[in-house]
């Protein structure tokens, strides 16, 4: 097998061949197909490039995807590109499945790495063996975090964050209910960016932070217990989108505000978009309190922290500050914002802020007086059209923004941003990587890997070569590889640290089309794993994993850097443990009952409890098992409660027994041969 020296041309040639002969099988797809694909001419506008590309792919879809042809043609004014067209691109590629695969590693396809599923032996994990890495994937609008093992891609656990979840009792016991309630009382969230805390630019395994795009929140997951332990409802902001930390030591957690809204959003200025604002929010990782916010011009999108602690970078779109799609995409230029964290702290300490909703808000808009002089709080780096992802290279030298509506990535010098007079001069490279670049990850050998949403590919390129090359050059490209289909984020092992591992890369693809058995009109997504450790062999697709909607970003952490608890340590809990023999039933007054009890195989402390209609009943219950993995629960029918009880854990719940009757409380975790008998009868006697 060989690495293609000219992957872009090959891509054009290959898709052309597919068009000509969409019924052929994977064997013999083309590294030597005729090169008469659509010409991309330098100097053509981005709009034309994208339109040409979309029209090309859509044309292929006609006749093979009747639904695509029936779709209304929603077009962005001037850009002639909309979400529907993106979908068409996916539909077209989907129609060609079987042809798709490696651009450059074709001869390897027969060696068990056929990219169709399962995975090759070398990168699989035998039954009973452990994975090398934890992958923490966001769950999108399920509101959760999924934990997968890498390289097996086996799903190990789910961590409810913004939603109630009965299997883990999240939102059922008093403590987790309070977390959700104090976090705003919503029933769902939209998690996008899970980031694990770092010390000295390496994972310390302490916490995971994740944003809620829907309701503008930031949550913290305790990685000892793999449990959400705090949610901050961020004021003055809707859609906390990008999420990242101040490095090297997680001094602050940043939430990047996306949608512009009035500040505070209390009914003022409802139809005066000029008065809307968007803020970067800095949160203390220990207390989860908001320390300050910085208002900026335009929408923001994704963010990443410099390795040295001074800079935080956020991409943005809608510098036009429009409220319709057309208005938001009118301009060819947007900005990447570089936040000077120490300068912002100085402004806060000097009182240069306005307090809004109880939070100091620093004015970081372009015309702010704080942006005059030689230490501006925010530097605005002009970047082409609606850049989406941004990530800092492992060496800390560059922040790379992905163009989204522009076929380039923009390489910004981190040292330069502090020194140049004109922020535009900090742009050191701008390679043309392909259509729809969204996010970029890194290996340990100077390569960047960028998802190409429209092309349905991952492009591997050399970022130092991009600094050497002319803007718009394709020379830094090392390789392109198809993914299935339309990738959003991608993540490489420990790519967000100063020392990526350079072995595995996971592309989180939005569409799976026909990669799996059909399961109705809502399809799973497709997380595809590549082995990237062999530069000579090229990227090797080793696994497809169907994924419930919908992961956005992920963090991949070596197993040695996470130390999960095997059982609860009662001293970590703020409730008193209830040992065997110390159970109690106490009637406090005419309408209040307090029960302290325990659970073990195969019984509860009380085989029955009797309360009266209308009683407020509080149950505190400990799982007295010391053996790991012997989990109980107490499900209380009629009262909508299921408390999960890990060994040595204690949980509490209060409910009003307002329905007279007999209710069998039972253990929902299958804990032993007598699990079905593990029950307690709750008698609610009617009041006269
Ligand atoms: Cu690209 Cu929310 Cu990171 Cu989704 S964002 S893909
Ligand atoms: Cu305890 Cu089933």
If you compute the radius of gyration of the chain from its CA atoms, what whole number of angstroms results?
27
Q: What are the CA-CA distances from residue 99 to residues 37, 51, 94, 380, 615 (Å)?
A: 17, 24, 10, 44, 66
Q: 462: which residues sit within 8 A by CB, 6+ positions away? A: 446, 447, 448, 476, 478
pLDDT bracket for residue 615 (50, 70, 90) = very high
Residue 182, Cβ neighbours under 10 Å: how many?
12
- According to DSSP, residue 571 is labeled G
Q: How much is the pLDDT for 49?
A: 52
Are the CB atoms for 361 and 293 separated by under 8 Å? yes
Q: How much is the pLDDT for 120?
A: 52
- According to DSSP, residue 503 is labeled S
* 510 Cβ inside 6 Å of ligand 1: no
Q: 278: which residues sit within 8 A by CB, 6+ positions away? A: 237, 257, 258, 259, 260, 261, 295, 296, 298, 299, 300
User: How many residues are given for the chain?
Assistant: 688
Is there a cis peptide before residue 602, judged by omega within 30 degrees of 0?
yes
Lowest mean pLDDT among 27-41, 166-180, 220-234, 366-380: 27-41
* 525 Cβ inside 6 Å of ligand 1: no
Query: For 25-40, how does the pLDDT look when each residue is reduced to its tens digit (9 = 90+)?
Result: 333 333 333 333 333 4
Residue 532's SS3 state is coil
* 460 Cβ inside 6 Å of ligand 1: no
Give the tokens for residue 314: 């956020």
Q: Which residue has the higher pLDDT, 62 or 376?
A: 376
Q: Which residue has the higher pLDDT, 452 or 49?
A: 452
Residue 674, Cβ neighbours under 10 Å: how many?
11
Whole-angstrom distance, CA of residue 566 vs CA of residue 225? 8
What CATH number labels 570-685?
2.60.40.420
Q: How much is the pLDDT for 336?
A: 96
- According to DSSP, residue 176 is labeled H
Q: Atom 4 of ligand 1 has which residue's CA nearest to it? A: 552
Q: In the predicted model, what is the mean pLDDT of residues 537-557?
A: 97
- Its pTM stands at 0.85
pLDDT bracket for residue 54 (50, 70, 90) = low
* 241 Cβ inside 6 Å of ligand 1: yes
Query: Would you say residue 66 has pLDDT above 90?
Result: no
Residue 95's SS3 state is helix
Query: For 636-661, how does the pLDDT look when each residue is reduced to its tens digit (9 = 90+)?
Result: 999 999 999 999 999 999 999 999 99
Please report the atom of ligand 1 found closest to the CA of residue 192: 2
Q: In the predicted model, what is the mean pLDDT of residues 483-487?
A: 97
Whole-angstrom distance, CA of residue 241 vs CA of residue 83? 20
Q: How much is the pLDDT for 482?
A: 98
Q: How much is the pLDDT for 330?
A: 86
pLDDT bracket for residue 329 (50, 70, 90) = confident
Q: In the predicted model, what is the mean pLDDT of residues 219-243?
A: 97
pLDDT bracket for residue 45 (50, 70, 90) = low
Q: How much is the pLDDT for 135?
A: 98
For a mutational test of ligand 1's pocket, the pick from 302, 317, 451, i.e. the residue with the most ligand atoms closer than 8 A to its C-beta, is 302
**Kind of pairing between the strands at 457-462 and 447-452:** antiparallel
Q: In the predicted model, what is the mean pLDDT of residues 675-684?
A: 96
Nearest to 276 by CA among 244, 252, 300, 311: 300
Q: How much is the pLDDT for 25?
A: 33
Query: Would you say residue 337 has pLDDT above 70?
Result: yes
Q: How much is the pLDDT for 55?
A: 57
Q: In the predicted model, what is the mean pLDDT of residues 571-598?
A: 97
Q: How much is the pLDDT for 72?
A: 35
The per-residue DSSP string of 302-344 comes to -EEE-TTSSEEEE----TT--SSHHHHT--SEEEEEEEEHHHH
Q: Residue 412 C-alpha to ligand 2 middle, in angstroms?
A: 57
Residue 36's SS3 state is coil
Q: Residue 603 C-alpha to ligand 2 middle, in angstroms?
A: 8
Q: Residue 604 C-alpha to ligand 2 middle, in angstroms?
A: 9
| Residues framing ligand 2 (Cβ under 6 A) | 632, 667, 669-671, 675, 678
Nearest to 452 by CA among 49, 135, 26: 49
Sequence spans of domains, the chain:
9-93, 570-685
Query: Would you say residue 576 has pLDDT above 80?
Result: yes
Q: How much is the pLDDT for 450?
A: 98
Whole-angstrom distance, CA of residue 645 vs CA of residue 69? 53
Are the CB atoms for 377 and 339 separated by under 8 Å? yes
Residue 83, Cβ neighbours under 10 Å: how many?
10
Q: How much is the pLDDT for 361?
A: 98
493 pairs with which residues across the strands?
none
Cα 115 off chain centre by: 24
Ligand nearest the Cα atom of residue 242:
1
Q: Determine phi and psi for 239, rounding to 5 degrees.
A: 65, 75
Q: In the predicted model, what is the mean pLDDT of residues 564-574?
A: 95
Q: How much is the pLDDT for 17?
A: 38
Strands (E) across 67-178 are located at 133-138, 144-150, 155-160
Query: Would you say residue 62 has pLDDT above 80?
Result: no
Query: For 624-641, how does the pLDDT look when each residue is reduced to its tens digit (9 = 90+)?
Result: 999 999 999 999 999 999
Give the tokens for residue 181: 């309630």
Mean pLDDT of the chain: 86
Q: In the predicted model, what is the mean pLDDT of residues 341-356?
A: 98
Give the tokens for residue 205: 């395994």
Whole-angstrom distance, CA of residue 8 vs CA of residue 42? 14
Query: For 426-466, how does the pLDDT look when each residue is reduced to its tens digit (9 = 90+)?
Result: 999 999 999 999 999 999 999 999 999 999 999 999 999 99
Q: In the predicted model, what is the mean pLDDT of residues 244-271?
A: 96
Q: In the predicted model, what is the mean pLDDT of residues 227-244?
A: 96
Q: In the predicted model, what is the mean pLDDT of residues 366-393?
A: 95
pLDDT bracket for residue 331 (50, 70, 90) = confident
* 194 Cβ inside 6 Å of ligand 1: no
Query: For 113-153, how does the pLDDT look when each residue is reduced to its tens digit (9 = 90+)?
Result: 333 344 456 898 999 999 999 999 999 999 999 999 999 99
**Kind of pairing between the strands at 615-623 and 592-600:** parallel
Give the sheet arrangement for strand 238-245, strand by strand. Answer: 238-245, 253-259, 278-283, 290-296, 359-363, 354-356
Q: How much is the pLDDT for 82?
A: 36
Q: Residue 122 C-alpha to ligand 1 middle, in angstroms?
A: 31
Strands (E) across 474-513 are located at 477-482, 487-492, 504-509
Q: 459: which residues sit within 8 A by CB, 6+ positions away? A: 7, 433, 434, 437, 449, 450, 452, 477, 479, 480
pLDDT bracket for residue 333 (50, 70, 90) = confident
Whole-angstrom distance, CA of residue 56 vs CA of residue 632? 57
Please report the atom of ligand 2 found closest to the CA of residue 633: 1
Q: Which residue has the higher pLDDT, 13 or 657?
A: 657
């Amino acid at each position: 097998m060989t690495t293609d020296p000219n992957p872009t041309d090959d891509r054009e040639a290959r898709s052309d061949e597919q068009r000509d002969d969409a019924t052929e099988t994977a064997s013999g797809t083309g590294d030597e197909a005729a090169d008469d694909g659509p010409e991309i001419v330098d100097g053509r506008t981005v709009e034309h490039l994208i339109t040409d590309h979309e029209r090309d792919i859509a044309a292929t879809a006609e006749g093979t995807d009747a639904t695509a042809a029936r779709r209304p043609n929603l077009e962005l004014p001037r850009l002639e590109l909309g979400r529907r067209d993106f979908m068409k691109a996916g539909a077209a590629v989907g129609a060609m499945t079987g042809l798709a695969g490696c651009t450059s590693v074709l001869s390897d396809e027969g060696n068990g790495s056929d990219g169709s599923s399962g995975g090759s032996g070398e990168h699989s994990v035998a039954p009973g063996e452990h994975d090398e890495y934890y992958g923490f994937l966001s769950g999108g609008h399920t509101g959760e975090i999924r934990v997968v093992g890498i390289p097996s891609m086996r799903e190990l656990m789910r961590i409810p964050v913004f939603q109630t979840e009965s299997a883990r009792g999240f939102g059922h016991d008093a403590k987790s209910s309070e977390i959700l309630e104090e976090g705003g009382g919503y029933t769902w969230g939209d998690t996008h960016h899970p980031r694990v805390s770092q010390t000295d630019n390496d994972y310390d395994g302490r916490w995971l932070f994740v944003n809620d795009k829907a309701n503008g929140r930031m949550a913290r997951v305790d990685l000892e217990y793999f449990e959400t332990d705090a949610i901050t409802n961020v004021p003055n902001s809707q859609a906390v989108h990008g999420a990242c930390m101040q490095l090297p030591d997680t001094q602050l957690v940043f939430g990047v505000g996306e949608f512009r809204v009035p500040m505070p959003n209390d009914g003022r200025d409802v139809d005066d978009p000029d008065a809307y604002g968007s803020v970067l929010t800095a949160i203390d990782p220990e207390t989860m309190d908001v320390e300050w916010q910085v208002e900026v011009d335009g929408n923001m999108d994704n963010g990443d922290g410099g390795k040295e602690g001074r800079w935080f970078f956020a991409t943005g779109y809608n510098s036009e500050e429009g409220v319709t799609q057309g208005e938001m995409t009118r301009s060819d230029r947007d900005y990447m914002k570089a936040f000077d964290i120490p300068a912002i702290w100085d402004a806060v300490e000097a009182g240069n802020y306005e307090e809004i909703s109880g939070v100091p808000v620093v004015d970081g808009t372009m015309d702010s007086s704080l942006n005059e002089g030689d230490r501006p709080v925010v530097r605005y780096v002009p970047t082409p059209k609606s850049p989406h992802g941004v990530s800092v290279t492992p060496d800390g030298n560059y922040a790379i923004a992905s163009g989204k509506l522009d076929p380039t990535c923009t390489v910004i010098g981190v040292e330069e941003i502090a020194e140049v007079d004109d922020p535009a001069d900090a742009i050191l490279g701008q390679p043309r990587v392909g259509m729809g670049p969204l996010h970029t990850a890194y290996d340990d050998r100077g390569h960047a890997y960028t998802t190409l949403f429209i092309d349905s590919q991952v492009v591997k390129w050399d970022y130092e070569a991009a600094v050497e090359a002319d803007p718009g050059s394709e020379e830094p490209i090392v390789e392109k590889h198809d993914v299935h289909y339309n990738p959003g984020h991608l993540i490489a092992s420990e790519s967000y640290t100063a020392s990526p591992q350079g072995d595995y890369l996971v592309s989180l693809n939005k569409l799976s089309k026909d990669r799996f058995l059909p399961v109705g009109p809502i399809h799973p997504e497709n997380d595809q794993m590549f082995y990237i450790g062999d530069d000579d062999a090229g990227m090797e697709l080793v696994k497809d994993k169907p994924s419930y909607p919908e992961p956005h970003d992920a963090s991949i952490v070596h197993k040695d850097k996470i130390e999960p608890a095997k059982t609860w340590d009662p001293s970590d809990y703020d409730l008193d443990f209830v040992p065997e023999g110390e159970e109690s039933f106490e009637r406090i007054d005419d309408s209040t009952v307090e029960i302290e009890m325990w659970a073990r195989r195969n019984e509860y402390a009380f085989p029955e409890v009797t309360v009266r209609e209308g009683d407020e009943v509080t149950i505190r219950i400990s799982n007295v098992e010391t053996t790991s993995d012997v989990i109980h629960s107490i499900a209380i029918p009629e009262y909508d409660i299921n408390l999960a009880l890990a060994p040595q854990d204690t949980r509490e719940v209060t409910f009003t027994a307002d329905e007279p009757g007999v209710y069998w409380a039972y253990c929902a975790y299958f804990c032993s041969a007598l699990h079905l008998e593990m029950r307690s009868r709750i008698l609610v006697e009617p009041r006269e």
